[in-house]
Amino acid sequence: MHRHVYIICIFCIILVFGVGCRSPQGDLEVKSQAKVAISSINQKFTPIFSKVGINIPPDSLLIFVFKKQQRIEIWASAQPFSPKSIIEYPITSPLSIGPRTMNNQQFPEGIYYPGPSGNSLAFPNSYDKEKANADGRQLKTEEFLFENMLGTSEELAELSSLIKATGISKTAIIVAPTDFRIDKTPVPCPFCPNWYAELYDQLRFLVMEYI
């Protein structure tokens, strides 16, 4: 299987497993939120999306968080095989390199969903749970707010509205220690767990597909 197809399949799996878990009432609430969100972003984002041939809302949304470069990239897709770069935001508060393994302020690394509000990252994911179980650790269920990374309330509102317009179950957040497309050097992480290289190989494989 071609690498690009394989990666997109991974993304599809992420999306599919988030669908079908809501009640009918929950679906109505989500649709209502999406309608409001679409209205709030149309003026700025319609020309941007039109330029790359994608309507609002897109079929899926992919958010890259690159810790070392202090940058957020938003990619959208009208169909699974055509992701396009939409916009970038600077990260104003430095994020420490390394996956989250303790109940502290360390920002996670891996593949995540947004929180229910659309303005946060939901932690932990299944990989975190698997590694915590193997290491004999306990993890709390938490949400990491985007407002702690973004510089302005306008940027926060835009990102949250893009997520709500697309749908939380159709949005994935990829948090990587560095942008592997431009940073070819090994990522030093002396305090990381012994499985961090495995995680970074997976993230590198995924990031390299979005050029």
CA dihedral (43, 55, 19, 63) in degrees, to 10, reads: -70
Predicted pLDDT of residue 80: 66
Contact 47, 182 (CB under 8 A): no
Predicted pLDDT of residue 142: 94
pTM for the whole structure = 0.86
In the predicted model, is pLDDT for residue 25 greater than 60?
no
137/124 Cα distance (integer angstroms) = 12
Predicted pLDDT of residue 154: 94
Range of the domain at 126: 3-207
In the predicted model, is pLDDT for residue 151 greater than 60?
yes
**Predicted confidence (pLDDT) per residue in 70-81, tens digit:** 999 999 999 766
Total tally of structural domains belonging to the chain? 1
pLDDT, average across residues 137-156: 93
In the predicted model, is pLDDT for residue 18 greater than 50?
no
